[in-house]
Amino acid sequence: MAELIRAGRAYGPVTALEEATLSIRRGELLAVVGPSGSGKSTLLNVLGTLERPTSGTVRIDGHDVAALPDGQLSALRARTIGFVFQQFHLAPGVPVRDSVADGLLYGGVPRARRRELAEAALRRVGLEHRLGHRPHELSGGEKQRCAIARAVLADPAPGSGAAGPLLLLADEPTGALDTASGERVMELLRELNAAGTAVVVITHDRDIAATLPRRVRLRDGRITEDTGGAS
């Protein structure tokens, strides 16, 4: 599904990720852990094709990221990868349905279809009763569930059976939430994983990491431990 082979990312003289080798299989669930500054966010950006590696190889769904022009890379990202961030990125004053629907704005999906798909995604995360609410009317946990709905939003091809992205990258998805809301968010991520989406959770929370079947640990830009494979 996703593969890094001795991938690195440098910003001028600073190396944020160094010779990272990691293979993520379809339908896998894993945590990426490490102290602040260890390279977790850089790993997410490279894995999510938000940044190209400055060395090594990154393959997503069989495609070599370095070989793709920007337009094709954006298309690959849009149909393959979903992102959930600690900051919810919901537009102020905009109804939840429309904030989620805007995830398909640049895919050429008609407005009515975008709204239909957004409603389905919000039902999937248990927010069908909040469609017309604005972000300031939602709890932190509800905002994060909206962000997850947007991340899994897709317009599947007829007969494809697609139910969301192949890969979901969640960066500290429970970091701004109380315990109960965080547990609900993790439950949702597990449900998405059970439906076939590979889910990578970047977290500082050791308790959350301990509940996931695979853990990848970073320090100083290097993978130092991988309970599911060689690092």
Q: What is the pLDDT of residues 160-194, one digit of tens each?
A: 444 568 899 999 888 888 888 888 889 989 988 99
Res. 230 pLDDT band, cuts 50 70 90? very low
Q: What is the pLDDT of residues 216-227, one digit of tens each?
A: 999 999 999 999
69 pLDDT above the threshold of 60? yes
- Partners of 129 in beta bridges: none
151 pLDDT above the threshold of 90? no
Q: What is the pLDDT of residues 92-124, one digit of tens each?
A: 899 999 989 887 776 678 888 889 989 998 988
For residue 212, how far is the Cα from the chain centroid? 16
Res. 159 pLDDT band, cuts 50 70 90? very low
CA distance 76 to 54: 20
Q: What confidence score (pLDDT) does residue 138 get? A: 92
Spatial neighbors of 193 by CB under 8 A, at least 6 apart, are: 27, 28, 29, 199
158 pLDDT above the threshold of 80? no
CA distance 96 to 89: 11
Residue 212 and residue 222 in contact, taking contact as beta carbons nearer than 8 Å: no
Residue 211 and residue 30 in contact, taking contact as beta carbons nearer than 8 Å: no
CA distance 17 to 134: 38
CA distance 228 to 231: 9
Residue 138 and residue 146 in contact, taking contact as beta carbons nearer than 8 Å: yes
How many C-beta neighbours within 10 Å does residue 67 have? 10
Q: What confidence score (pLDDT) does residue 163 get? A: 56
CA distance 205 to 208: 5
Q: Which strand (E) or helix (H) includes residue 118?
A: helix 111-124
Mean pLDDT of the chain: 88
21 pLDDT above the threshold of 70? yes
Token pair 């248990």 is found at: 126
Q: What confidence score (pLDDT) does residue 154 get? A: 65
CA distance 99 to 16: 33
CATH of 2-226, one of 3.40.718.10, 3.20.20.20, 3.40.50.300, 2.40.50.140: 3.40.50.300
CA distance 19 to 4: 9
